[in-house]
Structure 1
Amino acid sequence: MSNKLYAGVALRETRQKFDLTQKEFAQRLGVSLPYLNQMENNHRPIASSVILALAQNFGFDVTQLRQGGAERSLADMKEALADPVFAELSPPMADLQLMATNAPTLTRAFLELHRNYKQTQERLASLDEALGRQETGIVQSPWEEVRDFFHYCDNYIDAVDKAAESYAAKADILDGDGRKAAADWLMARHGVSVSYDHDTQLRRFDPDQNILFLNQHVGAETQLFQIIHQTALIEHDDLLEMTLDTARFQSDAARAICKIGLANYFAGAAVMPYAKFLQAAQEHRHDLEHLGHLFGASVEQVAHRLSTLQRPGLKGIPFFFVRVDQAGTITKRHSSTRMQFARFGGACPLWNVHRAFETPGQFLRQLAETPDGVRYLCLAREVSKPGGSFHAPTRRYAIGLGCEVKHAASLVYADDLAPRKDSAFEPIGISCRICERENCHQRSVPPLERKLDIDMQARGVVPYRLG
């Protein structure tokens, strides 16, 4: 695999930020004008001397020079172009890579257009239910819109993260009884008292009485999380609103959902402050249960937090994180790795996250290889969320966390595995509709971009061969 780094967009943006011509910029970087032009257009990889000059002369954060964003967009474009509507078009991979790298804004626009198209198709499929309504225009799914916002922010919101880190230090929630400290802060700063009752809701705030009601049956870590969530809504409303302004959501519903998501992000970042959490994760080799005990957080909260450690200049291991329900539907997803989850449909059935429901409370480990040849260490665990009484339903999910196998030595879960043994890796994909594996025994549908060869006189695992 090539280690060459192309960064044309970053070079152009830096030059435009300082209002320099190409000639002036080339002189500052110590390269010729034609060479700069080639680098800005990604005809040549960026040289190490240029990276050093960027850091010294322009204060450029070299950790931003990574291919994660382009790879994420490339995976999303590949999935979108597998749609039958593009059956007559088959752009070469080189063209897709060029578009994702050189024109990220145009790529995002294309993906948003395709998403709107898919949602319009879904509306047409249920037209019989909408015949009596006078709706016009395309109504984008607010949930998907918000999920993509966090997805393309690398699941890291710098201003919110740092504000939460500052709050955690001032409120002193890490030492002793964090729940009491958070409640005391809310009362002292905003006159809001916390009351624990039998309410079926996790959190209910009464602004008239200035009382935050919490379900007394849920765990202490959940109660702490909800107290800080409410603190974020009250104390950092301006910050949340400014962040929402940058997202430019298409509906009020999407904006409201995202505000909840940002308050949740603040709570998670406060319970597990970035610098302290990263240091503890490295010291304890990313042991989720141990980190949960240290920070008073659930396993799911710890796993999700690990996937957000993408602060420029202080990054952790790039993880993917996903949560699925018992039907296999992805309810949360994020990846800082090259592995990108399908935006439509479920996850690969060969992935260990689906088997987690069979072994409640236990971690499953899997060495897996995707069709592009990249290998991963994957963790999966079932998580239950009881309702607090006999008649209350229990919500069950499975969470998945993983990283490229080159980071395996930094995880306690890699002990006694054999990451150097080829036969130890199980083949997995993204989803059947875009997976090109020929002989998968769990294939549910053929890949959309492949022709089918049907032999009436023979039958294999599936009743067709891929042409």
Structure 2
Amino acid sequence: MAQKKLYAGVKLHEIRTRLSLTQKAFAAKLGVSLPYLNQMENNHRPISTSVVLALAQEFGLDVTELSSGDTERLVSDMREALADPVFSDSVPLADLRLAASNAPALTRAFLELHSAYRRTQERLVSLDAALGQGSEDVAQLPWEEVRDFFHYCDNYIDAVDRAAEHFAGADPMAAARKALEERGITLFVCEETGLRTFDPETRRLTLSARVGVATRNFQILHQVALLTQNDLLEATLDLARFQTADARAIARIGLANYFAGAALLPYGRFRAAAQETRHDIERLAQRFGASIEQVTHRLSTLQRTGDKGVPFFFVRVDQAGTITKRHSATRMQFARFGGACPLWNVHRAFETPSHFLRQLAETPDGERYILLARDVSKSGGAWGAPDRRYAIALGCEVAHAPNLVYADGLDTGTPSAYEPIGTSCRICERRSCHQRSIPPLEQKLRFTPDRRDVLPYEIGE
């Protein structure tokens, strides 16, 4: 595939502002003319290879900053929003990319406005909800606000990640036990309890005996985060400026979870081990005493500036196909609402418990990926206790295949080996998908009564 042009004017402007340089001084250091720099900052021209090299050599810049996933995330989110029937005319993809690149703040404001409209419509569907909340101001739902916070942070919180790595040292669980002992907290494992219960009066931390060791260790580290990192968590929450107390409370749990995962799998050691094992998830889980889900989620967060890992996307879905966790450090983005493309191998993972499924896939924009999927269902731990059934998917662009043990033996050089997949039916432009559930809302349909194929309609250009 031809190399895509890099338009990153907003990011280039941010870099220049951060360095406190005028356009003239910045152009001189990059070895380009002032008009050329101005055109690049306004996305009238792509950033040239020579400028990328100059940024790295002159300023020591991690050039991956220029190709951050924000633009693709915003484009994906706008396409889904504009597929709403309330918008009668479709907007060309080129216009969406231009808006996301040149006016990201305005784009986010549009998305927030559409989200508010959508929530209002959903409330009006139920009379009880309308009567109960009719006088209430429309605000973003707390969990949506928190989800977007992590989404647009690349799911990497640098201060929390580094604090967790420092805390973990050579043995995170030894550090955790020491932290509990210093605070006079006694640890108990009990059959009849929830996952984790901490009683500040008795200084007693109780964990469930029905879950695995990896889950118990994670819960210990979560409690340690709440006990030892309160100032850091509160400062991070202050910077996020959540709109509601509920959103702040949910995000606090999310940040404590982040600390727990980053302490259990410290950045430097984990990234080195991932490279050494060629991202063999089971070996990494054994080496660090973590679960498969913990390892795959952590792989998708290795986005530290100057020391980034392979850019992965990560999703977790339930049996209905609803995405319950999502993150992408790649160009691959996911639907904000509803389920995932039925052609992804993640839906077949429930049929083959404890086995990884591999898939070569191509998205409508022509990008090719290698995808992994695995069932991560969790037992209730006792007869009659309900199981929690989930599957996870981890993937990266096929250019990174040599770094993955899972790519061995796959015919990555043959175009026909790639299965065509999409994001979700409502915004997927594929015209001949045999698994399409609903028509694409951005394209016109044709109906021919005397002709029938897999679909009862034809999708126009």
Fold conserved between structures, TM > 0.5: yes
Report % sequence identity.
66
Structure 2 residue matching 1:419: 3-state secondary structure? coil
Structure 1 residue matching 2:377: 3-state secondary structure? strand
Tell me if the contact between 2:12 and 2:66 (Cα under 8 Å) persists in the aligned partners: no
Which residue pairs with 1:150 in the alignment?
A: 150
TM-score (norm 2): 0.95
Please say which of residues 15-24 and 340-349 is displaced more in the overlay: 15-24
Which residue pairs with 2:25 in the alignment?
A: 24
Identify unmatched segments of 5+ residues in structure 1.
none
Say yes or no: does 1:344 pair with 2:337. yes
Please say which of residues 363-372 and 293-302 is displaced more in the overlay: 363-372
The amino acid of 1:457's aligned partner reads D
Which residue pairs with 2:349 in the alignment?
A: 356
Matching of residues 268-347 of structure 1 within 5 Å:
268-347=261-340
C-alpha distance in 2 between matches for 1:466 and 1:451: 6
Which residue pairs with 2:381 in the alignment?
A: 388
Matching of residues 160-171 of structure 1 within 5 Å:
160-169=160-169
Which residue pairs with 1:173 in the alignment?
A: 171
Please say which of residues 287-296 and 453-462 is displaced more in the overlay: 453-462
Say yes or no: does 1:418 pair with 2:411. yes
Residues 336 and 245 of structure 1, relative CA distance in 2, 3 Å threshold: same
Residues 111 and 215 of structure 1, relative CA distance in 2, 3 Å threshold: same
Tell me if the contact between 1:156 and 1:309 (Cα under 8 Å) persists in the aligned partners: yes
Matching of residues 397-412 of structure 1 within 5 Å:
397-412=390-405
Say yes or no: does 1:366 pair with 2:359. yes
Which residue pairs with 1:94 in the alignment?
A: 94
> How far apart are residue 235 of structure 1 and its match?
0.8
C-alpha distance in 2 between matches for 1:424 and 1:462: 25
Which residue pairs with 1:210 in the alignment?
A: 203
> How far apart are residue 234 of structure 1 and its match?
1.2
C-alpha distance in 2 between matches for 1:80 and 1:423: 32
C-alpha distance in 2 between matches for 1:63 and 1:132: 48
Residues 200 and 394 of structure 1, relative CA distance in 2, 3 Å threshold: farther
Which residue pairs with 1:242 in the alignment?
A: 235
> How far apart are residue 354 of structure 1 and its match?
0.4
C-alpha distance in 2 between matches for 1:154 and 1:326: 26
Matching of residues 13-162 of structure 1 within 5 Å:
13-55=14-56, 58-88=59-89, 90-133=90-133, 135-162=135-162
Say yes or no: does 1:231 pair with 2:229. no
> How far apart are residue 372 of structure 1 and its match?
1.2
Please say which of residues 106-115 and 124-133 is displaced more in the overlay: 124-133
The amino acid of 2:348's aligned partner reads R
1:399-451 per-residue CA deviation (whole Å, 9 max, x = no partner) reads 01111111112111112211112221111111110111112111110011112
C-alpha distance in 2 between matches for 1:10 and 1:133: 41
C-alpha distance in 1 between matches for 2:29 and 2:95: 31
RMSD of aligned alpha carbons: 1.8
C-alpha distance in 1 between matches for 2:273 and 2:132: 57
> How far apart are residue 134 of structure 1 and its match?
5.3
Residues 134 and 453 of structure 1, relative CA distance in 2, 3 Å threshold: closer
Say yes or no: does 1:431 pair with 2:430. no
1:82-117 per-residue CA deviation (whole Å, 9 max, x = no partner) reads 1111113x3322221111112122222212221222
Residues 113 and 361 of structure 1, relative CA distance in 2, 3 Å threshold: same
Tell me if the contact between 1:199 and 1:214 (Cα under 8 Å) persists in the aligned partners: no
C-alpha distance in 1 between matches for 2:84 and 2:119: 13
Say yes or no: does 1:4 pair with 2:5. yes
Residues 18 and 222 of structure 1, relative CA distance in 2, 3 Å threshold: same
1:216-258 per-residue CA deviation (whole Å, 9 max, x = no partner) reads 2211111111111011111111111111122221211111111
> How far apart are residue 294 of structure 1 and its match?
0.3
Tell me if the contact between 1:183 and 1:193 (Cα under 8 Å) persists in the aligned partners: no
TM-score (norm 1): 0.94
Say yes or no: does 1:184 pair with 2:178. yes
> How far apart are residue 379 of structure 1 and its match?
0.7
Identify unmatched segments of 5+ residues in structure 2.
none
| Residues paired across the two proteins, number | 459
Please say which of residues 21-30 and 137-146 is displaced more in the overlay: 21-30
